[in-house]
Structure 1
Amino acid sequence: MRIVRVANFVNPRSGGLRTALSHLGAGYLAAGHEPVLVVPGPAESDEVTEQGRVITLPGPLMPGMGGYRVLLDRGRLSSALHALRPDRLEVSDRSTLRWLGRWAKRREVPSMMVSHESLDGLLRLFGPGVGRRAGDLLNARTAAEHDQVVCTTRWAASEFARLGVRNLTRVPLGVDLERFTPANQDPAMRTRWCAAGDVLLLHCGRLSPEKRPRRSLEALAALRRSGVPAVLVVAGGGPMRSALQSEAADRGLPVRFLGHLTDQVKLSSLLATVDVAMAPGPIETFGLAALEALASGTPVVVSSESALPEVIGDAGVAAPGEGPAFAEAVRTLLSRPEPVRRSAARAQAELYPWDRSVAGFLAAHRVPTAATFQPFSESMR
């Protein structure tokens, strides 16, 4: 089968969507299919990669979005898809690319919309109940225009499930269990960022308002006020970095801002070396960075408002509220013996190998999968 995937808002260097697309494409290829990915970029290109063929079409930068581009030229994209003659169409953007469901129906091509974000969650950032009726209408249209809607967690699927959507399937994403492992722990890296006896915390993710990175600073402040000698490492860039650096300096908080880490070896070592990672975003629909920390043997504190409690299980703690609640969750994790909390983190991550995710997506596409894959997908009807 030729499975053509179209995605917007793909960071050219990193990010959860980029990671998911790469692993799924490689898995489709290994299963004997022909994956083709179409994404926006500064110029047109066409190359063969480890995840299959990747076609880049020119797309403009979105103002204030930190370098994200979108495919806005419908005529050009339609022509490219017509030339590709897909057997299946997989779409990863239900805002600007929802029209592709109608394109596929007219050509009798089965289509799938992968919901990587929560419209409910995004609207909730503007206040309780804001735009819920409009969100329900858009979600109903999305489901009607595609043969399948795939969500990665029950939390993410709930906004479709309450509408009685019948073509809804849950397929969790995965984690690279060979790249992210407790064996990457680096004592020399630890001494670089903190003193002996300190608690080393990590905030790993984009520094943007919807990710709530200030909660990590507040947690650090609360821990230090209570006598815990904590130090925070922040790996990631974004529009809030300058303000957060100034705030940390003004408050005398020991925060090490590393910026965006392009070195995957350094990132995997950092994830395995810290004591606790924090994922404070309230609208995360899966949380690949948190799962990578668990695979590295590092427990995670997450927002109880998000989908992450569903993913981390007992290997972390869900914090209700702001920074002080996250500080209390960190103390709860630190009260567990280190070997216990680290082995629990790794065991939880091992429930999410990429091959099961690939098999689940292929099952949702209703195409054959390799015999060695163990499908995991769940109808939400």
Structure 2
Amino acid sequence: MNLTILHVSQPVDGGVARVVTDLVQGQRVAGHRVLVACPQGGRLGREAVAAGAEVLHWPARRSPGPSVPGETRRLRRLVQAAAPDLVHLHSAKAGLAGRLAVRGRLPTVFQPHAWSFAAVTGPLARAGCRWERYATRWAGSVLCVSEQERLDGLAAGVRADYTVVPNGVDLRRYAPAERRAARLSLGLDLSGPLAVCVGRLCRQKGQDLLLAAWPAVLRRVPTARLALVGGGPDAQALAAQARALPEPYRVRLTGDVPDPRPWLAAADLVVLPSRWEGMALAPLEAMAMARPVLLTDVPGAREQLPPAHRAAGLIAARDPAALTHALAEALADPLECARRGGEAREWVTARHDVRSVVARVSELYQKSIGDGQPPSRVPARI
């Protein structure tokens, strides 16, 4: 059965945008009509169009606030005009406005991509938990990208029909590549060990923690280099933090890049010291390119690593000493990094092929439509 599927997303960059685009591509190949409602700017709109989606302009800020009622009204009108069989809401803001707009009158899948209450503390975290407990009535299924994300939802009192589908990667696009050629293309030193961090420059991804640990890493591995690949709201602050490091700090901030694959190929080690996640996409892409990863032990990280890599590849979140030690140990042994990279490619190939993700999400859609949620087509008023 061919469906009309409406994805709603804010943000429009980073891993969430990549996940949505991969779903669009797979769903279009399967013959479905796919629409994406998202703000203008960023990559999602243009990449979704290239993948075959119809893109609907949905102005929405990333954070909640006074703009929510207007965003909800606009989204309700888009849903009415699109007449989808199913709505798939991505991340906290789309989950907020989308569930308020649709209120369960259409089959609805909500995908947190990391719980909103994990990003804050105090009253905001408590308010986020209360909202998620209440709003779960308006989603036929909550789609988590890791088992730990599901457990965190349950621990917060969010009772829902959960489905866990780990993130995947396009193994044809992210394939092993020759390190020397990648470094030549980027104008990098050919011999020194290189750590690369790919991700949105923001508090969540922890690049500030990485920069704080870097001088101690250089004292143990003086030839090491670090590249922060990506753009984001903390770009200026991180650039200032890097400039304040003692010379030679050997750090390069690339800014946003159209394609991170050359940087992943150039790396000896890919590091992501996140404060919270659902299951980060960049480490999967790195492992698909046969590069080992170093991650903080946040939701999704342990599950996406080969069991044999967890001792060396996982550290406690917000532990500068552990980050320094693990970085220095890995960068001092490029041969071991290369060995772990080969194993990582085999692991991702067996467990994180994006085609299996698309198939499992399709099964969830069919179940959501067939489990007594309203049948296809939005009513005249919702």
Higher strand share: 1
Find the aligned partners of 2:302 and 2:69 in 1 and give their Cα distance.
33
Unaligned runs of 5+ in 1: 64-68, 369-381
**Are 2:7 and 2:35, in contact at CA under 8 Å, matched by a contact in 1?**
yes
1:16 matched to which residue of 2? Answer: 15
Q: Provide the alpha-carbon RMSD of the alignment.
A: 3.0
Alignment of 1:89-104 (within 5 A): 89-95=87-93, 97-101=95-99, 103-104=101-102
Q: Does 1:145 align with 2:138?
A: yes
CA deviation digits over 1:151-184, x for unaligned, max 9?
1012221232233624111111111211212225
* 1:238 alignment partner in structure 2: 232
Deviates more, 1:85-94 or 1:54-63: 54-63
Q: How far is the alpha carbon of 1:201 from its aligned partner? A: 0.8
Corresponding residue of 2:319: 322
What residue number does 1:5 align with? 7
Superposed CA deviations along residues 56-95 of structure 1, whole A, max 9, x for unmatched, are 32515569xxxxx999443333222112221111111434
- The letter for the 1-side match of 2:96 is R
User: Kindly tell me: are residues 338 and 164 of structure 1, through their superposed partners in 2, closer, same or farther at Cα, counting changes over 3 Å?
Assistant: closer
For residues 177 and 154 of structure 1, the distance between their equivalents in structure 2, rounded to whole angstroms, comes to 23
Shift of 1:100: 3.2
Name the aligned partner's letter for residue 84 of structure 2.
Answer: P
Q: Which residue of 1 aligns with 2:371?
A: none
Offset of residue 9 of structure 1: 1.9
Deviations 1:297-328 (A, max 9, x none): 11111112343122123446111243331222
| Cα shift readout 1:97-131 (whole Å, capped 9, x = no counterpart) | 43533654564x211111112234212xx4xx665
Partner of 2:345: 346
Higher fraction of helix: 2
Pair 1:305-2:301 in alignment: no
Q: Partner of 1:28 in structure 2?
A: 27
Higher alpha-carbon deviation: 294-303 or 238-247: 238-247
| TM-score normalised over the length of structure 2 | 0.81
CA distance in 2: counterparts of 1:34 and 1:254, whole angstroms: 48
Deviation at 1:140, TM superposition (A): 1.2
Give the whole-Å Cα distance in 2 for the aligned partners of 1:199 and 1:51: 36
C-alpha distance in 1, partners of 2:216/2:47?
A: 50
Aligned with 2:203 (options 206, 209, 217): 209
C-alpha contact 2:26 2:358 (8 A) present in aligned 1: yes
Distance in 1 between the 2:158 and 2:89 partners? 21
Contact 2:109 2:142 in 1 (8 A): yes
Q: Is the 8 A contact 1:315 1:344 kept in 2?
A: no
**How far apart, in 1, do the equivalents of 2:141 and 2:211 lie?**
40
- Which residue in 1 is equivalent to 2:56? 56
Q: Which moved more, 1:53-62 or 1:77-86?
A: 53-62
| Post-superposition offset of 1:137 | 1.6
337-346 or 347-356, larger mean C-alpha shift? 337-346
Q: Aligned AA for 1:3?
A: I
Q: Which residue of 2 aligns with 1:376?
A: none
The answer to whether the Cα contact below 8 Å between 2:268 and 2:338 also exists between their aligned partners in 1 is no
Give the counterpart of 2:278 among 285, 294, 297: 285
For these two proteins, the number of residue pairs brought into alignment is 350
Moved more, 306-315 or 270-279: 306-315
Q: Distance in 1 between matches of 2:270 and 2:320?
A: 14
Structure 2 counterpart of 1:298, one-letter code: R
User: Residue 111 in 1 paired to residue 108 in 2?
Assistant: yes
Amino acid at match of 2:98: L
Supply the distance in 1 between the matched residues of 2:226 and 2:298 (Cα, whole angstroms). Answer: 23
Structure 2 spans left out of the alignment, 5+ residues: 369-382
Change (3 A) 1:173 1:70: farther
Cα–Cα, structure 1 residues 100 and 203, in superposed 2: closer, same or farther, change >3 Å?
A: closer
- Residue of structure 1 in register with 2:82 after alignment: 84
Aligned counterpart, 1:180: 174
Aligned-residue offset at 1:208: 1.7
CA 1:188–1:143 in 2, change beyond 3 Å: closer, same or farther?
Answer: closer
